[in-house]
Amino acid sequence: MDSEPLYITGAGVSEESGIPTFRGNDGFWTIGSTNYTPQEMATRYMYQNNPEEFLLWYYKRFATYRAVEPNNVHFFLSNKRLITQNVDGLDGKAGNPDYIPIHGRLDKALVYDQMDQFSELIPSPWDDIEKLTNGNDDDTKAKLLDAFKISKKTKVPELRKSLRPFILLFDEYYTDQYRMTEAEEWMKSSDHYIFMGTSFSVNITNIALRHAAQNNATIEIVDPNPIDLGLSDIIYHTSTAQDYIKSKLNSKLNDEC
């Protein structure tokens, strides 16, 4: 077993950088479009059947935050083993060379294909849209279809030609496109888990907890309002990730004095 902790982070870690959480009062999952809920919008079905609405929603809700900078927590985690649910790419910006973005990254795109087919990642074309559009939704939709190589006539994505954001959608499952096998190997070999800023409402945290229990691992949860998981011997830190990191760094400084 590895003695170094395995960190698993959620949206609470990036809140300090100005990115709303998903399920809070101001969260992304509380903001839909005119005709669809977020849970309907963030799906492979919507991309396939209404790609212009799908892309416009991602452009407005997520791409707005693509220029946000990492905070102290991201930099603290930059040399740690890390699996994050966040798609903001801030851990990469902070310098972590090998973290696993298990739900994808908004700053990356890939060729649209069957879910089990692996595609090389390319930079997302969000910045190009901003340069071309005048802010009108119809104009933005047209530019998005062009940028993601979807016909404006048919408005139907084409396999192995069109592009899509590198985001794991609600009606998709974990594959090795999202490094799932590698993530499970990390979890199987870990005897110390630290969960930060996660609501435990997504499948990856349930998978991690199962491996932690099988390993009799130490489990720590960092959250200002932690969820009681009903498991024994969990160490709860009722604090933000920022405050937790500060206490860790202060403790290290005191030990070195």
CATH number at residue 145: 3.40.50.1220
* 135 confidence band (pLDDT: 50, 70, 90): low
Distance CA 128, CA 102 (A): 26
Dihedral sign (CA 111, 99, 15, 217): positive
* 2 confidence band (pLDDT: 50, 70, 90): low
**Token code pair at residue 144:** 């998005």
**Token code pair at residue 140:** 């933005």
Which domain covers residue 228, as residue numbers? 6-256
Residue 3: closest CA among 216, 189, 208: 189
Summary mean pLDDT of the chain: 89
Residue at 131 is within a domain: yes
pLDDT digits (tens, 9 = 90+) for 216-252: 999 999 999 888 888 888 999 999 999 999 888 776 6
Residue 59 near residue 125 (C-beta atoms within 8 A): no
Q: Model's pTM, two decimal places?
A: 0.90
Residue at 1 is within a domain: no
Residue 84 near residue 91 (C-beta atoms within 8 A): yes
Question: Max CA-CA distance within the chain?
Answer: 68
Residue at 234 is within a domain: yes
Task: List the single range of 77-81, 164-168, 196-200, 250-254 with lowest mean pLDDT.
Answer: 250-254
Residue 116 has pLDDT above 90, yes or no: yes
pLDDT at 33: 52
pLDDT at 34: 57
Residue at 215 is within a domain: yes
* 129 confidence band (pLDDT: 50, 70, 90): confident
pLDDT at 199: 86
Task: Domain count for the chain, please give it.
Answer: 1
Residue 101: closest CA among 20, 167, 198, 57: 167
Please, what's the b/e burial string for 56-92 (b: 16 or more CB within 10 A of its CB; e: otherwise)?
bbbbebbbebeeeebbebbbbbbeebbbbbbbbbbbb
Residue 114 near residue 127 (C-beta atoms within 8 A): no
Residue at 24 is within a domain: yes
Residue at 110 is within a domain: yes
